[in-house]
Amino acid sequence: METHVMQTLQSGALYRNTIENLEAAGNLINLNPNVLERLKVPRRALVVSVPVRMDDDRVQMFTGYRVQHNQTLGPFKGGIRFHPHVNLSEVAALSALMTFKNSLLNLPLGGAKGGIQVDPSTLSKTELESLTRRFTSEIGPFIGPDKDIPAPDVGTDSQTMAWMLDTYSMESGYAQTGVVTGKPIEIGGSRGRDSATGLGVVYTIEKALQSKNMMISDANIAIQGFGKVGMHAAIEAYALGARIVAVSDVTGGIYNERGINIADLVSYVKENRFVKNFPGTAAISNEDLLELNVDVLAPCALDGVITEKNCECIKAKIVAEGANGPTNSVANKYLHEKGVLVVPDILANGGGVVVSYFEWVQDIVWLFWKEDEVRNKLREIMYRSFDKVWQFSQEKNKDMRISAMAVSLQRLETAMKLRGQAW
């Protein structure tokens, strides 16, 4: 591949980290070198300029991306991120993580990711809608219910998906509800999608605690990020009797060693937008939250928060990665050697794409499931995936990250060989 393209991809720590993990797991299972070569780079990367007429009539240009990593197992699938740090390298790394996640979870889907470099909080609703619609139009030829199915990620939500669905359907001339997942229930969304990623995180926390002979009802938990993943992880863990001692968002965190009433906090955040100043709690920084003496730490915000700089200060027994890429390779190695069980992103936060898959299936057959059905099927897949990774890690005496990657690669290798993609 062209050197400058490789240089761009490798410019980001998350991409380098993902390839390092891929190579380590590949070596562990003697992965076919041709399979490894193909998986190191995305299949297709689209960069688009998105003009938006702002409220003051000025035209502002934004840069958007859609990276399609691999479609051996099925159509490309992955979220859309609106964040100021979005760049080609990050989106490519996240698209590769989607390939590995979907393979690990045994879904018939490939991996993709997209995003726009923008701080959505600085745009009016009209500007945000224009941005989303124009972006959808630009990537339109490359997405579709049978080709590539976007979903929400950081800074996007079910409303974003509704605008994408509408734009894509307008341009097709008929309703294509299966083009995105994570959309509102009224227009083809699945029950249980909003809470799916957080619930999946909690199912893996339950399993991780079991491996240490602990129950979630006896555990105390700190959660970084109180968005779609962190808030629902808090709600679900709280409902199971866990003590949530700290949570945070971009403005900082709150702490109460006796536990925070999550139901009240959710109402508070609806009114006040952020968790800060929630009555009965003390302020804590995002950095200090990571170092609390808790049973479980769930980083559910952004990547690169647990590194060589702070890993020696992590006191949790279990780290459940709700976010993508929160722990880098150096920190992962250190924590594993110290006996901390790190449940890696492609396993811990897989609940979102599992229910996205359920949503996509429901849209194909136009038959919708009850929430209980969604939750039960999700639990089955999360428990089964955890068990597979746990068994591999025990047999090979390896950490959960390399084990998850190895289990995922075994399925991908078989599929690529069957399709004649590796010789």
Tell me how many degrees the CA angle 397-218-352 measures, rounded to the nearest 5: 65
Pick between residue 75 and residue 152 the one whose CB is nearest to ligand NAD: 152
Interacting span for ligand NAD (CB under 6 A) from 202-210, 214-222, 300-308, 390-398: 300-308
Interacting span for ligand NAD (CB under 6 A) from 139-147, 153-161, 384-392, 415-423: 153-161
Secondary structure (H, E, C), the chain:
CCHHHHHHHCCCHHHHHHHHHHHHHHHHCCCCHHHHHHHCCCCEEEEEEEEEECCCCCEEEEEEEEEEEECCCCCEEEEEEEECCCCHHHHHHHHHHHHHHHHHCCCCCCEEEEEEECCHHHCCHHHHHHHHHHHHHHHHHHCECCCEEEEECCCCCHHHHHHHHHHHHHHHCCCCHHHCCCCCHHHCCCCCHHHHHHHHHHHHHHHHHHHCCCCHHHCEEEEECCCHHHHHHHHHHHHCCCEEEEEEECCEEEECCCCCCHHHHHHHHHHHCCCCCCCCCEEECHHHHHCCCCCEEEECCCCCCECCCCHHHCCCCEEECCCCCCECHHHHHHHHHHCCEEECHHHHCCHHHHHHHHHHHHHHHCCCCCHHHHHHHHHHHHHHHHHHHHHHHHHHCCCHHHHHHHHHHHHHHHHHHHCCCCC
Minimal distance in Å, beta carbon 145 to ligand NAD?
A: 19
- Strands of the sheet containing 252-255, edge to edge, are 282-284, 252-255, 243-249, 220-224, 296-299, 318-320, 341-343
Contacts of 330 (CB under 8 A, 6+ apart): 307, 308, 311
Minimal distance in Å, beta carbon 390 to ligand NAD?
A: 20
Which residue in 40, 77, 101, 113 is the catalytic one? 113
Minimal distance in Å, beta carbon 218 to ligand NAD?
A: 26
Q: Is 250 in the site for ligand NAD (CB under 6 A)?
A: yes
Which of left, alpha, beta for 301 (phi over 0: left; psi -120 to 50: alpha)?
alpha
Q: Is 248 in the site for ligand NAD (CB under 6 A)?
A: yes
Among 15, 76, 168, 226, binds ligand NAD (CB under 6 A): 226
Q: Is 167 in the site for ligand NAD (CB under 6 A)?
A: no
Segment 41-60, which members bind ligand NAD (CB under 6 A)?
none
* Tokens read off for 331: 């920190």
Interacting span for ligand NAD (CB under 6 A) from 36-44, 148-156, 158-166, 383-391: 148-156
Interacting span for ligand NAD (CB under 6 A) from 47-55, 244-252, 256-264, 377-385: 244-252
Q: Is 225 in the site for ligand NAD (CB under 6 A)?
A: yes
Minimal distance in Å, beta carbon 197 to ligand NAD?
A: 4
Q: Is 183 in the site for ligand NAD (CB under 6 A)?
A: no
Write the interaction track for ligand NAD spanning residues 317-356; mark x where CB under 6 A is met and - where it is not. Answer: -----xxx------------------------x--x----
Interacting span for ligand NAD (CB under 6 A) from 50-58, 150-158, 255-263, 414-422: 150-158
Q: Is 413 in the site for ligand NAD (CB under 6 A)?
A: no
Segment 259-288, which members bind ligand NAD (CB under 6 A)?
286
**By beta-carbon distance, which residue lies closest to ligand NAD?**
227
Pick between residue 18 and residue 224 the one whose CB is nearest to ligand NAD: 224
Minimal distance in Å, beta carbon 3 to ligand NAD?
A: 29
Is residue 309 part of the annotated active site? The answer reads no
Binding residues for ligand NAD, total number by CB under 6 A: 24
Segment 74-133, which members bind ligand NAD (CB under 6 A)?
none
Q: Is 227 in the site for ligand NAD (CB under 6 A)?
A: yes
Q: Is 190 in the site for ligand NAD (CB under 6 A)?
A: no
Q: Is 302 in the site for ligand NAD (CB under 6 A)?
A: yes
Pick between residue 151 and residue 340 the one whose CB is nearest to ligand NAD: 151
Minimal distance in Å, beta carbon 230 to ligand NAD?
A: 6
Beta partners for residue 112, in sequence order = 68
CB-based contact 235:266 (threshold 8 Å): yes
Q: Which residues bind ligand NAD (CB under 6 A)?
A: 152-155, 197, 224-230, 248-250, 286, 300-302, 322-324, 349, 352
Question: Catalytic residue numbers?
Answer: 113
